[in-house]
């Protein structure tokens, strides 16, 4: 379950990626990120924080349990679960050898790692279904472009141990709820069933036969896929390949009875939930572990010219645990690309997370006052009073300007005199009133002023 998200790279960056200047034996210092990587800067963080908080909230509401897996795993975990002949394994995976000689890889997705953890920690003995939530960076050596990074962040919701299609529907429900809460209203779910691996064998033969007859019209990538992974031809975005596959045999026409019943039941649940969806018979998966339900999530009409932004997707993977050496375990899950979610939020004017604003500003003047201010600041924190400060500035006038800029309701002032006699000046920025109190009475006096200001702004109705 994967979704990706990036920015355009400068030619300069590409030139420097090798790390050494031509004709130089010394490694040059390049003070910028690797191509396809990026920093998430402070002004972007409020959007990321909103995404994180809503994901965490959904985790609790739907009774999922958080799990974090390593960024690096043994390479064979991914080559075995994802399968050779896929772009991920053939072109995109980050492979390396450790100093101990282990062949390792940076995870290109989260699902295989979750399956490994499920087996390694004996989760099969736990009451079913087992609901796991995971989030973190994943890595693909893909071509960087807008919304697509080589390091991108993903969130997964996965359910192990239950094959009933109502769990498939709940996965859709979770995704729909998260996206709605983020303010992404115009969402389209595209859904299909690819049946079981056994049932796909017959469909694969029929599809290959058709595609072979049209092979001369396919792009070079699809000609290669025809040998390695013919189902992926259906997913090609090249116009000439799209025209070929419009008339290709549909997987839904070759489903086994069990898969047909499962798919029919899922669509009935989605109708009951009033979740809008489109059955897309061309929707497939390039990963070997998928069975039956597959789906993609799009934000519709945001890119102009009818283009859709992919936000995530997933499906059922009933055979993955067994293929990795575990017991036969049905499973369903999906992933959301967090980079893409943030990009869409910004594009559509979504609301970022707003941190609580400090109502109190602590100002100080002189070295002794600075020392005493640290203790006052600590005491206020212990009493759950959110405080802003400007310890690095000695000029009281500039500190008071900072207090005004922060819209503080109360400014606390500690000067040389106050530091010596253990007092604090309280200046009510709303009424202009000012008083001096002992430090041991500060919290009580401060809360009294804040309460009075709150009541004057929001009178209690009788």
pLDDT tens profile 300-341:
865 555 578 899 999 999 989 998 999 999 999 999 999 999
Does residue 234 lie in a domain region?
A: no
Structure tokens at 108: 């290109």
Residue range(s) defining the domain that contains residue 26 = 11-196+256-347
Average pLDDT value for residue range 352-358: 88
pLDDT at 247 over 90: no
State the CATH number of the domain containing residue 412.
3.40.50.800
Average pLDDT value for residue range 373-383: 90
SS3 track for 258-326 = HHHHHHHHHHHHHHHHCCCEEECCCCCCCCCCCEEEEEEEEEECCCCCCCEEEEEEEEECCCHHHHCCC
Give me the percent of the chain exceeding a pLDDT of 90: 54
pLDDT of residue 257: 93
Among the three residues 318, 347, 376, which one is the final residue of a domain in this structure?
347
pLDDT at 157 over 80: yes
Average pLDDT value for residue range 15-37: 67
Residue 396 CB neighbours (<10 A) = 15
pLDDT of residue 54: 97
Residues 83 and 146 in one domain: yes
Residues 419 and 277 in one domain: no
State the CATH number of the domain containing residue 68.
3.30.930.10
Cis peptide leading into residue 129 (ω within 30°): yes
Average pLDDT value for residue range 268-297: 89
Average pLDDT value for residue range 41-45: 94
**pTM summary value:** 0.82
Q: Measure the CA–CA gap between 192 and 311, rounded to whole angstroms.
A: 17
CA dihedral 34→40→41→46, nearest 10 degrees, is 170
Residues 151 and 60 in one domain: yes
Does residue 246 lie in a domain region?
A: no
Average pLDDT value for residue range 240-267: 91
pLDDT at 408 over 80: yes
Number of domains in the chain: 2
Average pLDDT value for residue range 202-213: 89
Average pLDDT value for residue range 172-189: 94
Going by pLDDT thresholds of 50, 70 and 90, the confidence category of residue 457 is low
Among the three residues 290, 319, 347, which one is the final residue of a domain in this structure?
347
Closest among 153, 428, 453 to 311, alpha carbons compared? 153
Does residue 4 lie in a domain region?
A: no
pLDDT at 347 over 70: yes
- 243 SS3 class: helix
pLDDT of residue 83: 61
Average pLDDT, the chain: 86
Does residue 415 lie in a domain region?
A: yes
Residues 285 and 391 in one domain: no
Separation in Å, CA 210 to CA 53, 204, 218, 305, 402: 48, 10, 12, 32, 71
Angle at 382 between CA 377 and CA 386, to 5 degrees: 60
pLDDT of residue 99: 95
pLDDT at 255 over 60: yes
DSSP codes of every residue in 130-158? EEEEEEEEEE-----BTTB-SEEEEEEEE
pLDDT of residue 25: 56
Q: Measure the CA–CA gap between 155 and 1, rounded to whole angstroms.
A: 9
Residues 142 and 291 in one domain: yes
Average pLDDT value for residue range 364-372: 87
Residues 366 and 335 in one domain: no
260-274, 292-306, 414-428, range with the lowest pLDDT: 292-306
Residues 397 and 274 in one domain: no
Angle at 300 between CA 9 and CA 289, to 5 degrees: 75
Residues 154 and 28 in one domain: yes
Residues 175 and 301 in one domain: yes
Among the three residues 317, 347, 377, which one is the final residue of a domain in this structure?
347
Which helix (H) or strand (E) is 96 found in, with range?
Answer: strand 94-97
Average pLDDT value for residue range 287-298: 86
Residues 266 and 154 in one domain: yes
pLDDT at 81 over 80: no
Given the structure tokens 């975990």, which residue do they identify? Answer: 77
pLDDT at 6 over 50: no
Does residue 202 lie in a domain region?
A: no
pLDDT at 16 over 50: no
Average pLDDT value for residue range 204-221: 89
* Phi and psi, residue 131, nearest 5°: -110, 120
pLDDT at 24 over 70: no
Separation in Å, CA 383 to CA 375, 377, 395, 460: 13, 10, 28, 25
Does residue 206 lie in a domain region?
A: no
Residues 339 and 385 in one domain: no
Residues 272 and 185 in one domain: yes
Does residue 274 lie in a domain region?
A: yes
């Amino acid at each position: 379950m994967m979704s990706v998200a990036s920015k355009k790279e400068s030619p300069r960056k590409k030139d420097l990626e090798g790390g050494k200047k031509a004709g130089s034996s010394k490694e040059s210092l390049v003070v910028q990120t690797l191509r396809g990587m990026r920093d998430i800067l402070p002004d972007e963080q409020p959007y990321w924080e909103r995404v994180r908080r809503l994901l965490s909230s959904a985790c609790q509401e739907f009774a999922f349990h958080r799990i974090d897996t390593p960024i690096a795993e043994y390479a064979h975990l991914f080559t075995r679960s994802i399968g050779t002949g896929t772009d991920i394994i053939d072109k995109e995976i980050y492979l390396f050898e450790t100093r101990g000689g282990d062949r390792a890889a940076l995870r290109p997705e989260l699902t295989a790692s979750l399956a490994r953890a499920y087996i390694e920690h004996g989760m099969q003995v736990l009451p079913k279904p087992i609901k796991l939530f995971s989030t973190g960076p994943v890595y693909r050596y893909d071509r960087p472009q807008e919304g697509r990074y080589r390091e991108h962040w993903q969130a997964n919701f996965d359910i192990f141990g239950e094959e009933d299609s109502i769990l498939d529907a709940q996965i859709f429900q979770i995704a729909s709820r998260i996206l709605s809460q983020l303010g992404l209203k115009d969402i389209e779910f595209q859904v299909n069933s690819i049946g079981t691996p056994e049932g796909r064998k017959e469909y694969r033969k029929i599809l290959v036969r058709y595609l072979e007859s049209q092979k001369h019209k396919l792009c070079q990538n699809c000609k290669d896929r025809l040998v390695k992974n013919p189902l992926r031809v259906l997913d090609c975005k090249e116009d000439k390949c799209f025209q070929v596959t419009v008339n290709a045999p549909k997987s839904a026409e070759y489903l086994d009875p069990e898969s047909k019943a499962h798919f029919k039941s899922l669509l009935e649940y989605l109708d009951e939930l009033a979740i809008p969806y489109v059955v897309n018979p061309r929707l497939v998966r390039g990963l070997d572990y998928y069975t039956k339900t597959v789906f993609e999530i799009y934000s519709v009409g945001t890119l102009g010219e009818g283009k859709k932004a992919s936000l995530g997707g997933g499906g059922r993977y009933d055979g993955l645990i067994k293929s990795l050496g575990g017991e036969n375990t049905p499973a369903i899950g999906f992933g959301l690309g967090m980079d893409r979610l943030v990009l869409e939020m910004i594009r559509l004017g979504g609301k970022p997370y707003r941190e609580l604003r400090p109502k109190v500003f602590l100002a100080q003047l002189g070295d002794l006052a600075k020392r005493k201010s640290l203790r006052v600041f600590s005491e206020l924190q212990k009493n759950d009073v959110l405080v802003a400060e400007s310890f690095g500035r000695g000029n009281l006038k500039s500190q008071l300007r900072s207090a005004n800029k922060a819209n503080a309701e109360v400014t606390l002032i500690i000067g040389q005199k106050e530091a010596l006699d253990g007092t604090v000046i309280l200046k009510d920025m709303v009424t202009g009133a000012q008083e001096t109190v002992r430090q041991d009475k500060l919290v009580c006096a401060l809360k009294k002023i804040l309460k009075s200001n709150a009541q004057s702004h929001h009178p209690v109705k009788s």
